[in-house]
Structure 1
Amino acid sequence: MRYLILGVFFVIFSGSFLYSQTKVGGQVFDSNKQPVPFANIVFVNSTVGTITDEDGRFYMESEDSHSSIKVSFVGFETKTIKLNKKVTYNLEVILQEEASTLEEVVIYKGKTSKKNNPAIDILRKIWDNRRENGVKKFKQYAYDKYEKLEFDLNTIDSALINSRIFNGMEFIFDDVDTSRITGKTYLPIFLNEAISKVYGDNVINEYKEILKGNKNAGFSDNQTLIAFVKDLYSDYDIYDNYLKFFDKSFTSPLSRTGIGVYNYVLTDSAYIGNKWCYNIIYYPRRKNELTFKGDFWVNDTTWAIKEINLEVTKSANINWVKDLYIEQEFDVLNDSIFLITKDYFQSDFALNKKEKSRGVYGKRTTLYNNYKFDIKKDKKFYQSQVDPYNDDIYNRADSFWENARMEELNKDEQKVYKLLDTLKTVKAFKRLYNIGTILATGYVEFNGFDFGPVFSTVGFNEIEGWRVRAGGRTYFTRNDRWRIEGYGAYGFRDNKFKYGVSGKYLVDRKSRLIVSGGNRRDVEQLGASLTNTNDVEGRSLASSSIIATGDNDRLTSINLSALSMQIEPRKNLTIGVTGSYRTLKPADRSLFSLDFIDPETNELKSQIKQTEIATSIAYFPGRKTTGYGVDRVVVNDGDFATLFLNYSVGLEDFIESDFEYEKVQFLYQQPWNIGGFGRLNSTLEVGKTFGEVPLGLLSVIPGNQTYLSIYNTFPLLDFYEFVTDTYVTLHLEHNFNGRIFSRIPLLRKLNLRELVGFRAAWGELSDENILLSAPSNELLLAPDDEAYWEYSFGVGNIFKIFRIDFHFRGNYFDNPDARKFGVTGSFGFYF
């Protein structure tokens, strides 16, 4: 009964909002009852319209009252339909083919000509003038920016309302509303507002955004969520050839390559404001490509975009995103220059793309105002750093927002603050939130302490047998200035206890001066990576992987103590100094040896004692982080370049240290988005050790004896198969994102993604270093005759979460136990 009452209340409540609105939705068919995709729907005598999807479905609404809609498509007669009600759902529209085009199969299919097409003539004029609009036309610029982020649970129905998962939270469904884009019911669950002042200089290519105020409803510790959403909806320019969303490059309808992937139709012309504009509809020529459908209005003199709508087609090869919709509006400055005033972005995250599947809306509304130009500021203004976290700014009072907002919150948004403050007190919600936190972070949260990571609890290797691990960290807020972490592990075969403990403190937030230190005693696979540091918190995946190919028994027992200091003088540029002392010995001397001859005493030793001082410089251009404490979270991982330079000095006879040496290492990692051809990841590593050192201090080309696809390793090399004191390695991996498979009829619907990889390594090993480690009886080989290389072919997006790679060895087939072929796989959630 209470749900019946709630339903009646909802109908009455919603009716008060619909009085001045017109809503219409339905499906468009041809005379054979086949859906007509990408048909144009507009309210008569207005510029409000939409495009049908691949199934011919549409929905649109307007704040004004309208009495009819017009439906049109190339090759069909235009049809006008009267609306007898303010709200009309499930409307069925039948279009009749034009008699003059019944025999023209190309037109009937919706394909448009690339020649003698007035829409394409207009498109060429847009290309010629696209750099003459916006802030890029000025030397310097500044403007106010208001941004609103929102998450909504969508497709609310009685089954969801009655679900046991919402027991105790039924009151939240009192605030269900209907999307103006999709016509689906939704329930707001998170809202964040921010207002900033933006400055830019096109001459020196600098940009700075200063936050003036922030407010949120939902979760007090929300910085990671906000930053994650901002990265998903990163800034874009519709005039660019490709628009990047969710790590995918979509072809812009304004792209110079758009003619090859879109159909364009000139449909209308009208005044928008006081500017005469043309209306062009566009839609994809082929399915499964990363393209949009929609329309835009373009001015007839400046050839600048006045309004544009973009919606991703359902056949696009992208996971977990059922719908993606963009609106942009531009205004005129000095009667000629068009500047963006509004950007609306909505995506529907769901497990599948079925019409009735539930999901979560992610919405971003950005408004721009108060443009100023050619006011020069010193370069120091852009480079200077201030304390990035101010509690007063992040929790502005209501009085601030009354004057700061560029548009008022609607009645539903105003309710969100009160609703979510109430929801946080409900036990059922807290339980759901805790489960989500564990899945997202791997930690179980307690008051001021996190237990985990839970995914590292169990492992297996030849030395320890089955291994269990438990650990945790202090955690009060995202902005903690200090943190202590630790873990304990036990191997049931070697019956030994291992542990690690570390602490760090953020001395100065402005320069991000951090001091840290700790101690770790554990079993590791030292041949798993090249460019590594003496990080106390580090742990080798290979030492605790459950499944391996061949014997994973070349493991090392390490006792490491380190003290370090790190500073960030400029954004994303860090300089660090680490002093460490470590002892290395075989985890099981009968299976693996690190024996060497002491150069001074000629004694045989099986344990290395080494003191080292390392200075490192790292630069991450384009990296985005969140959090203002000692730890920060990277929100665009894998989407920026990494440059790392490390210089290490081994100190002999200092705290019984055995060797004196110098080691230089450099790493350059760069992702490349190659437009519609996918994404290439590249990594170059070089290094050299000066001085004589034993096996435990040499550089091992990283093998991979697991069945996991691990980037920056060589899947067909065993651990310690190649050992060097001078090395160069190159890794290339290209993901075509389904560009090839989308053109194969039998594979098109599977949305698979093709990958290719190439890896190479060259290195040397001096005779002195070989002789130094001769007592170990380990076969030390370096790829010095020619560069070792491998190549691979992979298929990704299998069932949306699985990837399989097939690897082939290129040379060095005579190495002991050389593997010529291998298969690895991995699981992951990728867009």
Structure 2
Amino acid sequence: MNHLYRCVRHQTVLLLSGLLLLCSGLTHAQMTTVTGTIIDGVSNQPLPFANVVFVGSTIGTTTSERGTYTLAATGSFTKITFSFIGYKSITRTITPGATQQINIKLESDSQLLNEVVIRSGKRERYRNKNNPAVELIRNVISHKEQNQIEHYNYVSYEEYDKLQFSLSSLSAKVSERKIFQKYQFLLANRDTTTLPGKSLLPIYLEEKVTDSYFRKSPQKEKTIIKAKKRVDFGQYFDNNGLSLYLNRMYSKVDIYSNSIFLMTNQFLSPIATTAPTFYQYFLSDTIQVGTTKLVGLTFVPRNGTDMLFQGKMYVTLDSNYAVQRINLSINPKINLNWVRDMQIRLQFEQNTDGKYFLSKSDLLADFGITKGKGGGIFGQRTLSYKNYKTNEPQSDEFYSGQPQVVEAGAATKSEQFWVENRHDTLSSAESKIYANIDSLKRMPSFRRTMEALTFVVAGYKSFGAFEIGPANTFYSFNPVEGFRLRLGGRTTPELSKRYYAETYAAYGFKDQRWKYFLSGTYSLNNKTIYQFPQNYIRASFQRDTKIPGQELQFVQEDNFLLSFKRGVNDKWLYNDTWRIDYVHEFENHFSYSIGFKNWQQAPAGALKFKREDDNENTPSPTVTTSEFSLETRWAPNEQFYQGKIYRVPIVGRYPVYTLRFATGIKGLLNSQYNYQNLTGTISKRFMLSQLGYSNVTVQGGYIFGQVPFPLLNIHRANQTYAYQLNSYNLMNFLEFVSDHYASISIDHSFNGFFFNKIPLFKKLKWREAVSFKALYGGLRSQNDPQQNPSLYQFPTDAFGVPYTYTLNKTPYIEASAGVANVLKFFRIDLVKRLNYLDHPNVSQWGIRARATFDF
């Protein structure tokens, strides 16, 4: 599953990083540039988030928390206007095509209340105590519950969702280059109004119109997608996975939530319960809008490197203490990769009952490889809401079934429907994106380029109905097979959505044996087998090598990078495995699978199956079992990165429960043993706001019956140099076996909370990570070969020294401290093994690394 997760991230990284590289060297055309500072005309204090706009255009910007601004764009602009709520607007004449500085003092408008603010000449130390701004924000915090839709028994509304991405900083000279002559239809479609000072080339657009319903008790949500439309890049990108990944990066912003998830990171809301501990607040102005009195609050982080916002909000002074409008931005010093700038603007409108509901949300982010003004990617997600209705109940049947429903024909709505139902009209550039990308993906040069990039990044070469790969398994090596070559592939939904096949063949030049795999899958619900909810039956046969205790869904041993291992690695298995499995998922994210497996294991390399009374010349027999299994899994509210030929669960805040029971039947298809194996797992991510997050997994298992060591729980070890989250990184292969065990794994990321306070680490933008793993288990006497000579003896090395052990009464423990975000792509851990240090060939310390991609 881990390699599938990397596939979807790699495809997204391919699109984003490739586009960044494409435009990073492009130059700017001549621009009109205006810079300066805007201050209060009376107090001479800077005015953050004041508006600056070229007259006669929609090109504008807002001032920083220091009141500074820079506005630049191509065009013959002769006037610029400055405005801020509660102040009189000012217009100034400018010189087109020149760089100039204009500083402005804004005078209070008559709309301001007659209040006097007295400031001393000496700046006082900031305190929460007796601070009217903090007292006001505490009122906002205490009234949060009544200002959320959860306050009502029933709420419904219509939502329009638009997500758009563009290449930024594209010069008009680009289209004149010979290499881009074929792409004039695409390059000419520029937007110079959305992002002041930058020319944007729209490349992705996604729209949805939905009806959303909420019920308080019992709490249920229902979303009906009435229409959806998005750019389709064809087979070269996973359009479903790309859409979900981008929507998760640009998550919906709920200012009343304690934590706001953006760009794979958590930001503390300025009105979170603990916000006064991390933010500083300042009263800025008081205004009257209609009959509503609003107070302006400016907020900044106490520490500019924490995952916090800076900005300004307007709060009502009625009984609601509600946020009426808020602008959020991030400090450039924040430990956030690739993001040059991010702006969030939320607007609220008063409902008929006096409460304030979100009417519009606008999230803008500018990405780039460097912090400079080179090429990059600009993304914007705009959500608007209307037709709020409260306390209009729906039937219980309405809320049953899947929480999100797509109406029939939602993806084929006419252009007339979109014209009538969009809350905002598309810009001229946005309206051409769909047709331009359709034309682009039909161009042979584009197809050839994308096929090459897909093979390099994802490892598969597509031939339509069939694809070959993965490339990283074509060549590998190990002590048993020596030099190993493998070639395989799988069918795609282009061949059939009901029938799927996957196969590979491999040959080891040292053992001179062929290995192969073949599977066939039939979908019972006429959906791709990778789409939720799954309902399929699969049959397969595999003849291959395997390290005892290593499950291939966690580690692919013929991955070239995993061929490099530490220590002794000469005890392997030859496996012949027949399987048939039935998988059925339900809309409530409960699933079960029923399986049958006939498994023949033969020792390979230095591994031997020997009883106590066997001599050296006694050939090693095989271990054959026939096993029925039942596995149940419940993952409440689980979401997936959904692709055409894979899907990957998204780690959320809800726990995932798994229970598996397997029973071996002696005498069935030469099976030699009767036994029962019960395993249970609970995993959950705990979000700790400014302190990061912890991934916690608790697991336990018990084997009933008497079995030889190849059928015991051989605990998952790792002898590679890669840090593996699901393995014990300083445990040797086959080192520990149990017939009953319990384990806990905690992996915590601080997201740079501490390093951001250390000057050098802050500059490097490193992030801290720690982990702890403990395994407690044991072996009953009936499964101990020292007490039962009829069982196969535990493996030993060439000198007769024991190689495999039980855990006795002491748990195996290891811990690590790591540095993540090294060069923005790597995590490096120093791992410490805390006990069982007297075992042969073990290391007390180790350095392990893994590739990551986070914002």
- Taking structure 1 as reference, are residues 820 and 611 closer, same or farther at Cα in structure 2, changes over 3 Å only? same
Amino acid at match of 1:314: P
Partner of 1:7: none
| Of 424, 442, 463, the match for 2:480 | 463
1:521 maps onto 2:543 in alignment = yes
Contact 1:169–1:426 (Cα < 8 Å) also in 2: no
Distance 1:37 1:89 in 2: 25
Distance 1:801 1:170 in 2: 35
Deviates more, 1:771-780 or 1:273-282: 771-780
Amino acid at match of 2:312: D
Partner of 1:680: 694
Amino acid at match of 2:363: F
Contact 2:244–2:642 (Cα < 8 Å) also in 1: no
Q: TM-score, with normalisation over the residues of structure 2?
A: 0.84
Partner of 1:316: 334
1:818 maps onto 2:842 in alignment = yes
Contact 1:166–1:428 (Cα < 8 Å) also in 2: no
Query: Secondary structure of the residue that 2:434 maps to in structure 1?
Result: helix
Alpha-carbon distance, 1:572 to partner: 2.0
Partner of 1:52: 64
Partner of 1:747: 761
Give % identity: 26
Higher relative contact order (CA 8 A, sep 6+): 2
Contact 2:717–2:732 (Cα < 8 Å) also in 1: yes
Alpha-carbon distance, 1:796 to partner: 1.0
Mapping for residues 23-62 of structure 1, pairs under 5 Å: 26-28=35-37, 39-42=48-51, 50-52=62-64, 56-59=68-71
Partner of 1:796: 820
- Taking structure 1 as reference, are residues 300 and 386 closer, same or farther at Cα in structure 2, changes over 3 Å only? closer
Q: Which runs of 5+ in 2 are unaligned?
A: 1-27, 40-44, 106-117, 797-801
Amino acid at match of 1:613: F
- Taking structure 1 as reference, are residues 486 and 332 closer, same or farther at Cα in structure 2, changes over 3 Å only? same
Mapping for residues 8-27 of structure 1, pairs under 5 Å: 26-27=35-36
- Taking structure 1 as reference, are residues 59 and 241 closer, same or farther at Cα in structure 2, changes over 3 Å only? farther
Alpha-carbon distance, 1:770 to partner: 2.5
Contact 1:756–1:793 (Cα < 8 Å) also in 2: yes
Distance 1:785 1:80 in 2: 77
Deviates more, 1:490-499 or 1:163-172: 163-172
- Taking structure 1 as reference, are residues 190 and 790 closer, same or farther at Cα in structure 2, changes over 3 Å only? same
Contact 2:501–2:518 (Cα < 8 Å) also in 1: yes
Distance 1:57 1:621 in 2: 46
Contact 2:50–2:82 (Cα < 8 Å) also in 1: yes
Query: Secondary structure of the residue that 1:552 maps to in structure 2?
Result: coil
Amino acid at match of 2:244: A
Mapping for residues 348-367 of structure 1, pairs under 5 Å: 348-352=366-370, 354-367=371-384
Contact 2:281–2:298 (Cα < 8 Å) also in 1: yes
Q: Deviations over 1:748-772 (max 9, x none)?
A: 2111111111111111112332224
Q: Deviations over 1:235-254 (max 9, x none)?
A: 34201222111331111122
- Taking structure 1 as reference, are residues 744 and 776 closer, same or farther at Cα in structure 2, changes over 3 Å only? closer
Distance 1:115 1:767 in 2: 66
Contact 1:524–1:539 (Cα < 8 Å) also in 2: no
Query: Secondary structure of the residue that 1:209 maps to in structure 2?
Result: strand
Mapping for residues 204-353 of structure 1, pairs under 5 Å: 204-220=218-234, 222-272=239-289, 275-301=292-318, 302-352=320-370
Query: Secondary structure of the residue that 1:655 maps to in structure 2?
Result: helix
Alpha-carbon distance, 1:472 to partner: 1.4
Query: Secondary structure of the residue that 2:182 maps to in structure 1?
Result: coil
Contact 2:214–2:221 (Cα < 8 Å) also in 1: yes
Distance 2:496 2:151 in 1: 39
Distance 2:727 2:445 in 1: 44
Deviates more, 1:709-718 or 1:168-177: 168-177
Query: Secondary structure of the residue that 1:411 maps to in structure 2?
Result: coil
Alpha-carbon distance, 1:740 to partner: 0.7
Alpha-carbon distance, 1:518 to partner: 1.0
Mapping for residues 336-735 of structure 1, pairs under 5 Å: 336-352=354-370, 354-385=371-402, 392-438=409-455, 441-477=458-494, 480-508=497-525, 512-528=534-550, 539-540=556-557, 545-588=562-605, 591-595=606-610, 606-625=621-640, 627=642, 633-634=647-648, 636-637=650-651, 641-735=655-749
Distance 1:469 1:391 in 2: 44
Contact 1:49–1:60 (Cα < 8 Å) also in 2: no
1:172 maps onto 2:186 in alignment = yes
Contact 1:479–1:627 (Cα < 8 Å) also in 2: no
Partner of 2:82: 69
Alpha-carbon distance, 1:405 to partner: 1.9
Contact 2:223–2:405 (Cα < 8 Å) also in 1: no
- Taking structure 1 as reference, are residues 821 and 27 closer, same or farther at Cα in structure 2, changes over 3 Å only? farther
Mapping for residues 86-97 of structure 1, pairs under 5 Å: 90-92=99-101
Contact 2:48–2:66 (Cα < 8 Å) also in 1: no
Distance 1:689 1:271 in 2: 72
Distance 2:83 2:417 in 1: 45
Contact 2:48–2:311 (Cα < 8 Å) also in 1: no
Alpha-carbon distance, 1:616 to partner: 0.2
Distance 1:312 1:479 in 2: 47
Deviates more, 1:720-729 or 1:418-427: 418-427
Contact 2:225–2:407 (Cα < 8 Å) also in 1: no
Distance 2:576 2:509 in 1: 20
Distance 1:604 1:378 in 2: 70
1:144 maps onto 2:158 in alignment = yes
Contact 2:476–2:558 (Cα < 8 Å) also in 1: no
1:785 maps onto 2:809 in alignment = yes
Amino acid at match of 1:808: K
Q: TM-score, with normalisation over the residues of structure 1?
A: 0.86
Contact 1:543–1:555 (Cα < 8 Å) also in 2: no
Alpha-carbon distance, 1:219 to partner: 2.5
Alpha-carbon distance, 1:613 to partner: 0.5
Aligned-pair RMSD on alpha carbons? 3.7
